[in-house]
Each structure stands twice: as structure tokens, then as C-alpha cells.
A and B are shown apart, each in its own frame.
Chain A
Amino acid sequence: MQEIVRMVDILKVYPNGIVANQKVNFSIVEGEIHALVGENGAGKSTLMKILFGIEQPTEGSIVLNGQEVKFSNPQEAIKHGIGMVHQHFMLVPSLTVAENIVLGDEPKKAGGLLDIQKAIADTAEIAKRYHFDIDPKAKVEDCSVGTKQKIEILKALFHGAKVLILDEPTAVLTPQETSELFKELMLLKDKGHTIVFISHKLNEVKEITDRITIMRAGKDVGTYDTDKVSKEDISNLMVGREIVWDLDKSKAEPRDVAVQVENVTLVNEHKRKLLDDVNFSIRKGEILGVVGVEGNGQRELVDVLTGLQQASLGTITINGENIQRYSIRKIRDLGLSHIPEDRMTLGVAEYASIEENLLSIYFDKPEFLNGPFMKLKQINAWAKEKVVDYRVKTGSEKTPVKMLSGGNIQKVVVAREFSNNPKVIIADQPTRGIDVGAAQFIHKKLIELRDKGCAVLLVSADLTEVMDLSDSLVVFYNGRIVGYFEDASLLSETELGLYMLGLKAQSEAEIRRCVYA
């Protein structure tokens, strides 16, 4: 196998003084799928941005096919056969698939006219060559997320990519789309393309890659053949400390009911039932997991529980109080905490500091107030304490949240939501897109709070997470509960899959068991 890219002693210091890469060495050989793994903020993205010409290294060199190259922008990298599929798609929604793919290198007729027929033909041809099932004439805005990703990959191939960098490609995909993607990646590899696969998901890394380079705190900690290292080894190298894969979790001792959901139905303005007669209880001292394929009512359930939306019918009581028409504030005052799915929109104000974000639900607490004035010293001391307690990696509690990595932002959200002696926690995708260390920390905290008698509702698309962490499980399908499992540990993933896809459902009586008096 011939080496295609070698990055030598890459040092990257950002203007704000952050050292993102410290003498990193990275090498890939032709025709392999190479995983690049590491915690959030370990420097993977920076390294790949340097390879793709988005960032320039402070020191170090890039050798491509034996020749030293310098890319001052992505176009130069593209010209040298490097392509990158970003986490956020770089597509133009109102244009067709073909138009998006040829953009920047369009087939032309005389006089600057766009040769749309050739664009469509070229797109169809390249899609066929790589067995991508795609309609060149479809508008991108009508395409699913999975299809959009295929378009991105095809676009890179159209522009001549031999080396393809995929930045967490599966983060947005369903399990089915992921397996389809993997088939396509294997085919690309067979056709001689080289793929760099950035991921947190060690299962996927193990499944698809040939070699792994692990990064930690801006340094590379080695490259390994994938089949010679175990998941445990990888995670140890990533975080540099022992990760206990089996959650240290005692059996739950559920007590009386904290949240009672009765006959809750949510109808949207077009009379479609997003939640359809939902009944269940969350008991103190248990973690109730909610699973389902995305779009089956989980989001709406979280919305009605937290007061973001009003249920159309039915009642929700928290510790005996009916929360209908309660403001979000009033619901929170009952002891409800909410870790929202989209932390950047609902979780934090990105330009505000860590301290301000922490304070955002406590600013009117008497201990922080002196008449109309805030007790800034006390607030600052308190914020400092939280930053330490929740291991938020930052230079100062005054840093804008935007500057933190995903995992650290989530720790800020969690620190705020858990500091209120919560009685009920609604945790919606609490560890999505964050590194193993931070995720484990949040899991531990959730279990700790459960043991203190907190009622926890855990919604997660990560089946491993929801199965490991939950004591009991409900499965949502089409806005309804189709299954209740009192002991989540007795359940297999395949069994769960049948319920999630609506192929199996329990009887009314069995489902009713999730309602406790």
C-alpha cells in the first residue's frame, strides 16, 4: 500500500492562543478507511481543516503523493484530489441535485450558458458508477438527510476527490441510512478511494475502518490496525483514563409517582395527532427511557412535559399539581429540569458567558439579589464552583459559551439544570455529539440524582445509552406508546427494534402497566 498523505509535525496555534494541534503526525495509505477518533476538542477537526486548506498550520508540512504541498484555501485542496464532507451540509436547497453537484465546475454551452442536460447526465453517470441511488432532477430541499449526505459525497467525487474526509457522517443518520452509507463507503474503497472517517462512535469505527489514529488533547497518541485494538483500548487511549463500560448502576428503587401523564393528546393545526392518548407515570427514583425512531412523538412529549407546547387533551401532573396552562417558569418552580435536545438553541445563549448561562434560571433567587442589584461576587464564586464541580474545561467562567467544545457546552447546561435540587429531570438526547468522557460524566450524574429520589425521563436516539441507563422503557410509535418494559436490562436490541418500527405492539393491558397509581 502506498502512502498518499502524510502530515508531519503539524502545529496549530489559533490567534486567541489556543493550541489545537501539537506536533501531530498523521499518515494515510491509498485505499484504506482510516478513522480519526478523539474527544471533543482533541484537535481532529482542526487537523482535517488543515488538510483541506480551511486552516493553515503554524508549523509543519503536508506531503501528498511524495510531494510537499501547501493549501491556502479549500479550492487548492480540491484541485489536489482532496474532498471533505462537513457535518453541516454545504448544499443549496432550492437547486436540484445535479445543479448542486456541478456547482463551481459547470458544464457549459457556448456563451456561458449552463448545459443542464450534461449536468444531469454527469450526475446520473457518477451516481451509477458508485451505486448511489439518487434522482439528479430532485430539488435538494425535498431530499432526506441521508440523501443530502450522498449528494455531498458525490459532489466531492465529481470535483475529483481521491481522498475523502467525512466529519462525523453518521451523527445525523438513522441506523438504516448508516448501514447504507457503510456499503457505499466500502464500494468507494474498492474503487481505490481513500477515506478519513471522523467519529465518536466506536462501534462504527470498529465496523468499517482499517486503521485508527487516536488524538488526545491536541496530540496524536498513535495509529493502530483496527482489528488489533479493542473498543476499551481505544477509549482508554482517547481519554487517557480507564472508562468503565459497564455503568456502575445499582438496581432502581422506584417510589411513588412524580409525574402522571393521562390521556395526553397533541393535535397540530392540521388535525394530525402527534401524541395520541398517551398514559404513563414517571416514578421517583427511576430512570424511564423513551425510545422510538425519530419523529414518532418523543419530541412533542418533551415539549408538553416542559411547557414548550400545550397538550390538546389530557392532563399532566407533577407532584400532584396539574400543569395545564402553567408557564415554563411555573413548571420549573415545581422542580422540573430540562436538558434540551438542541443545546445551542434552547440550552444556552451562545454569546453569553458560562457564568451568565449558569445564572440564567437563578438570576432572581434571593441569595443572588440585593434589592434590584445582583450580588456579582457571590454569583461569580458560585459559577466558579460549578465550573469545577462539573469539570467544564475552560480558562475562565467569563468565557463565552460559543468558544467551548460541544461536550463542555453540554456540561454547562447540565450544571445549571442539576443545581436546583431537581425533582423531575427531562433529559432529551443528553449526550448527543459529545465525547465519551463528558457523556460518562453526565450518565453518572443522572444515576446519582436518581438515587437521591429524582424522577428521570431519558429520551435518546442512542440505543446503547438508553438501554444501559434506563431502569424501565417505553417505546413510542406514531405518537402512541406501543410497549412498556419494566426491566430494561432484560431487553435485546433486536426485540426493541421490532417495536420501534411498529412491527410489534403490546396489548392495551400490558401497556397500561406503565401507569402507576
Chain B
Amino acid sequence: MINLLTPEFLFTVIRVTTPILLAAMAAVICNKAGVVNIALEGIMLTSALTGVLISGFTQNLWLGALGGIVGGVFIAFLLAYFALYLKTDIILGGIALNLLTVGGTVFVMFAITGDKGATNSVRSLQFPSINIPFIQDIPIIGQMLSGHNLLTYLAIVMVFLVYFLLYKTTFGLRLRAVGENPDAASSVGIDVNRIQLYALLLSGVIASFGGMYMSMAYLKVFTTNMVAGRGYIALAAAAMGQANPVGTSIASLLFGFMESFGYQLQSRGIPSQFINMVPYVSTIIGLVLYAQYRQRQIAKKKIQKIHEEEVKA
């Protein structure tokens, strides 16, 4: 049997969850603002490449990080420009950008490094891993929680930051109002387009960290199509978490768990083609279960309302 409750396994879960969680937080902001950021995948892929290249050429991690963010935000800006100002369908625009970046990143990589598979020739920098004092000394918990990459801790902090932004600031209030009833928001003088633009750009920043985690922490190079659907899984996580930061984190963790589980199976000699399916199959199963749960909740709410009306009558 596979023992899933080892500290090593749980460490892996957290490690694997990190990019999904970051992208899912990006998705939460956009969902709440009423724009589906379907281009998360492309944002992550672009930032993964630009982060590696710029850190490699400048040999400065922070400039590299800035480069990654600029790359990701550029894609987010393109999506915003298409969807908000040219009024194209955001789904189509997003898919176009995702397809563009799959080929585009390889093109740029080949043009700069002469390699179509990976950026091995670039000596890029990585985000450091951090041991947390005190916690690292606690048995088991220390093994699980300490020694992760800086970006993993950033992802955890991001959950709280996003929560705070959405529910404690006036910008968050306006953003939620825009997402739920844009007419209501604009009737009191809120510029709907502008809020949605900010939401997309902000989600570009957050998702860029997810992308850079892939190439500057999880791996040490950029490889072709290395994001491998994590942007879409993040959208599924945000949907399951009803775009609530906490619920979305739990859903992200679930997907991270399934992916790690897949790796465990791999070491048990199960064909890798099956293993590779695990995250996606679990996404589908997760969405179906979630949809069923939602249906029941809606039905329950209806009864409640009927009962309340009965009481009133």
C-alpha cells in the first residue's frame, strides 16, 4: 500500500499545490469582478519564460521576477484590451492567447537560446527555499511546512491578501459589485471597465508568480508547455471554491493532492500515461461532485424560502 500520510508526501502536496493556488487566487479576483480570466495558462507560461530569461541575462533575481511579472501582465493586458475595449468574447480571446503563448514561448526560446525544448543554456536564477525558525524544529510539522520555496509562502500569504482586498477594502467592494451587477455599479458612478481592467492586471501579477514558480523554483529551466493545464485547473478550483479565497484554497489543495498522489503511483510502476491523467480526471470528477452539491444547495435554499414565506403568511 501507498502511505499517503508521510511528512514527505504532504510536503510534496504543498509543493505541487503552489502554482495552482497562485493561479487560483488570480482566478478568484477575476471571477469576483465578473471577467473569466481564461488566459491564466498563457500568463503563467509567458511569465515562466520571461522570468528565466531576464534573471539569466541580468543575473539579478529581483529583476528576473520583475521581468516575469511584466511578461504575464502583458498577456493579461492584451486580454483586457480585447475583451473590455474591443468587446470580443473573453473566452475566445483567452483561448487565442493561450494557444499563441504555447507557440510563442517556444519561438522566443528558440530565437534566443537556439533550443526548442528547454532553456538549459541560460544560467537563470531560482527563488530561494526558506527554513522557518522554530517551526522547522517541530517534528513532522516542521518537515511538512518548513523548507519550502519563497513563492510557496507567498502563495499562502496571497490567500489572505486576496481575502483582505476583496472584503475589507472599498476597491474590493466595488469589484464584487461590478462582478455581480454591473448596471448597479455603474448607476452609482463606478467605472465598470476600469475595475475589470484592474482585476485582470492584478490577476496577471499573481498568476505570474505561479508561472515563475514553475521555471524558477519547481524546475530550474523553462521547458515547452511546462504549465501543462495548471491555469485551467486553477479556474476549476476557483469555480469549486465559489470564488471565495478560502474555499478556492481548499479546492486547490485537493487538486495538488491528486497530482502528488499521481506521482506516488508512478513510483509504483503504473504507466505514466495514466498518471498524467490523474490531475485532469480529478478536476472533472471534482467539478461534477461540486455541481451536484450546488444543485442540492440551491434546492435547499428554495425550500427555506418557501418555509420562510409560510411563516410570514
Contacts and interface: CB of A to CB of B under 8 A. Distances in A.
Interface stretch (A91-99, A301-309, A374-382): A91-99
A272 B169 contact: no
B271 to A, nearest CB: 45
A159 B187 CA distance: 11
B184 A78 contact: no
A322 to B, nearest CB: 29
Interface residue SS majority, chain A = loop
A246 interface: no
A114 B166 CA distance: 10
Interface in B150-184: 168-174, 176-177, 180-181, 183-184
User: Which of B168, B170, B174, B185 has most chain A Cβ within 10 Å?
Assistant: B170
Contacts of B306: 268, 270, 272
B190 interface: yes
Interface in A459-474: none
Nearest to A107: B170
A103 B185 contact: yes
A269 B169 contact: no
A269 B299 contact: yes
B188 interface: yes
Given A113-B168, A478-B313, A91 B188 contact: no
Contact of A113 (B170, B176, B302): B170
Contact of A103 (B183, B184, B302, B313): B184
Nearest to B188: A104
Contacts of A89: 184
Contact of B183 (A75, A90, A105, A268): A90
A90 B177 CA distance: 10
A433 to B, nearest CB: 20
A249 interface: no
Given A78-B189, A112-B169, A113-B170, A94 B180 contact: yes
A103 B188 contact: yes
Contacts of B170: 106, 108, 112-114
Contact of B185 (A92, A112, A155): A92
Nearest to A106: B170
A103 B173 contact: yes
Nearest to A78: B189
A295 interface: yes
Nearest to A101: B188
Contacts of B187: 74, 86, 90
Contacts of A272: 303, 306
Contacts of B303: 270, 272
B188 to A, nearest CB: 3
Interface in B273-313: 299, 302-303, 306, 309, 313
Interface string A96-131: 000110011110100011100000000000000000
Q: How large is the interface on A (under 10, 10 to 19, 20 to 34, 35 or more residues)?
A: 20 to 34
Q: How large is the interface on B (under 10, 10 to 19, 20 to 34, 35 or more residues)?
A: 20 to 34
Interface residue SS majority, chain B = helix
Interface in A244-299: 268-270, 272, 293, 295
A114 B299 contact: no
A108 B172 CA distance: 12
Nearest to B184: A90
A99 B173 CA distance: 8
A94 B176 contact: yes
Given A93-B180, A295-B309, A104 B169 contact: no
Contacts of A100: 184
B167 to A, nearest CB: 8
A90 B302 CA distance: 23
A112 B313 CA distance: 44
Nearest to A91: B184
Nearest to A111: B169
Contacts of B183: 88, 90
Contacts of B171: 112
A100 B183 CA distance: 13
Nearest to B306: A272
B181 A90 contact: yes
A103 B174 contact: yes
Contacts of A478: 313
A95 B309 contact: no
B180 A104 contact: no
A113 B303 CA distance: 37
Interface string B185-204: 10111100000000000000
Interface string A16-36: 000000000000000000000
B189 A93 contact: no
B301 to A, nearest CB: 10
Contacts of A103: 173-174, 177, 184-185, 188, 190
Given A95-B176, A269-B299, A272-B303, A155 B188 contact: yes
B185 A114 contact: no
Interface in A54-89: 74-75, 78, 86, 88-89
B173 A95 contact: yes
Contacts of A91: 181, 184
A503 B171 CA distance: 51
B299 A104 contact: no
B188 A159 contact: yes
A356 B190 CA distance: 40
B168 A92 contact: no
Contact of A104 (B181, B189, B302, B313): B189
B34 to A, nearest CB: 11
B177 A95 contact: yes
Contact of A92 (B169, B172, B180): B180
Given A91-B181, A103-B184, A105-B188, A114 B309 contact: no
A105 B306 CA distance: 35
A103 B189 CA distance: 9
A268 B183 CA distance: 34
A479 B309 CA distance: 14
Contact of B190 (A99, A104, A270): A104
Contacts of B185: 92, 103-104
A113 B173 contact: no
A237 to B, nearest CB: 32
Contacts of A295: 309, 313
Contacts of A104: 174, 185, 188-190
Contacts of B190: 103-104
Contacts of B174: 103-104, 106
Interface string B246-281: 000000000000000000000000000000000000
B154 to A, nearest CB: 21
Contacts of A108: 170
A88 B182 CA distance: 13
Contacts of B169: 112-114
25 contacts: A78-B189, A86-B187, A90-B187, A90-B188, A91-B181, A92-B176, A92-B180, A92-B181, A93-B180, A95-B173, A95-B176, A95-B177, A99-B177, A103-B174, A103-B177, A104-B188, A104-B190, A106-B173, A106-B174, A113-B169, A114-B168, A114-B169, A268-B306, A270-B299, A272-B306
Interface of A: 74-75, 78, 86, 88-95, 99-100, 103-106, 108, 112-114, 155, 159, 268-270, 272, 293, 295, 478, 502
Given A92-B177, A103-B188, A293-B313, 5 more contacts: A95-B176, A95-B177, A103-B185, A106-B174, A113-B169
